[in-house]
A and B are shown apart, each in its own frame.
Chain A
Amino acid sequence: MHLFWSFSLFIIMVFVIGLYCIFVSYNLIRILIGVEVLIKAATLLIIVAGYITGREALAQSMVITLIVIEVVVVTVAVGVMLGIRSINNSLDARRIKSLKG
């Protein structure tokens, strides 16, 4: 089996796991964990693509950029979650429907 396809099998599986978690969960922390799992799949895809095309250096610089963005997204999302919790006293996504705006 082709190397890229072999890795893609597992990347697609991890991607589906993250996507399912986002769609099915109501807890905001768990939804963020689902997003993280999705990002792991994307990271692995970039690394595998870099390895196969012989452009590891470019792939690594891309992944480092991705990791920086990931950290900022998680940090801001955690701040937003704490804000929502202080207002609703809950992290249930169904209760955010009552927000104005």
Chain B
Amino acid sequence: MSIFDGITLFSLVAAALWTVMTRSLLRSAIGLALTSAILTVIMFRLNSPLAAVFELSVCSGLISVLFVSVISLTHPLTIQEVIQHMKERMARFWVLPFLVIAIGITLILFNIKPEIRLPAPETVKDVRVVMWNLRQVDVMGQIIILLTGAFGVVVLFKERIKK
């Protein structure tokens, strides 16, 4: 693992930590997009460019837009509520950075060297061939899941309009 990989992995953990710990929901959504963007860089480094592009466009783009949309539909807190909320959050979340550091140090101390049994080498190297020829059931499943999601949203919003 190169120094650049180490830096990106540290950045990933830092971005995830910031996403979870920041008070503002909007900043959380932006932090999530940042986490996805850093993950994209790691994916490119690990020879997975197509998945990286999907991650960047869908997770860093579409999902962030969804989060920002739903945050904009919620009403803002009053100043007193914000102060109360900050105190509660600090009480609940101050442990997390120490917990993450402690877990990291513990795992480094263990220094496990897993013996991975490598499977037979892959004969097909092109992701398009794998996707469309070898994993057709996955593609069918994706289509069904997308349709389920679309119909689910239609039903949910239909219910809301009736009420």
- Which of the residues A13, A21, A59, A74 comes within 8 Å of B104, measured between beta carbons? A13
Q: A14-B12, A43-B39 are in contact. Are A6 and B1 (CB under 8 A)?
A: yes
Q: Kindly state whether residue B82 has any CB partner on chain A within 8 Å.
A: no
For chain B, residues 10 to 57, give those with C-beta under 8 angstroms from any C-beta of chain A.
10, 12-13, 16-17, 19-20, 25, 28-29, 32, 35-36, 39, 42-43, 46-48, 50-51, 54-55
CB neighbours of A73 from chain B (8 A): 149
CB neighbours of B58 from chain A (8 A): 67, 70-71
Q: A51-B46, A53-B116 are in contact. Are A72 and B148 (CB under 8 A)?
A: yes
Determine if B116 and A30 form an interchain contact, defined as CB atoms under 8 angstroms apart. Answer: no
Expressed in whole angstroms, the Cα–Cα distance for A71 and B61 within the complex equals 11
Closest chain-B Cβ to A55's Cβ sits at a distance in Å of 5
Determine if A30 and B48 form an interchain contact, defined as CB atoms under 8 angstroms apart. Answer: no
Determine if A82 and B46 form an interchain contact, defined as CB atoms under 8 angstroms apart. Answer: no
- Which of the residues B16, B46, B148 comes within 8 Å of A14, measured between beta carbons? B16
Determine if B48 and A60 form an interchain contact, defined as CB atoms under 8 angstroms apart. Answer: yes
**Residue of A with least CB distance to B91:** A24
Expressed in whole angstroms, the Cα–Cα distance for A6 and B39 within the complex equals 16
Closest chain-A Cβ to B161's Cβ sits at a distance in Å of 10
Q: How many residues of A contact B (CB 8 A)?
A: 68
Expressed in whole angstroms, the Cα–Cα distance for A77 and B3 within the complex equals 38
CB neighbours of A55 from chain B (8 A): 119, 122
Of B17, B46, B129, B153, the most chain A CB neighbours within 10 A belong to B46
Q: Kindly state whether residue A58 has any CB partner on chain B within 8 Å.
A: yes
Q: A21-B20, A63-B54, A78-B67 are in contact. List 19 more A-B contacts (CB 8 A).
A: A1-B113, A5-B114, A13-B103, A13-B104, A29-B71, A33-B32, A40-B36, A51-B46, A52-B118, A56-B47, A58-B135, A65-B138, A70-B63, A72-B149, A75-B153, A79-B153, A79-B156, A85-B74, A91-B74
A-B contact pairs, 15 of them (CB 8 A): A7-B9, A10-B9, A29-B25, A33-B20, A33-B32, A34-B20, A36-B32, A36-B59, A43-B39, A64-B50, A69-B142, A71-B149, A76-B156, A78-B69, A82-B70
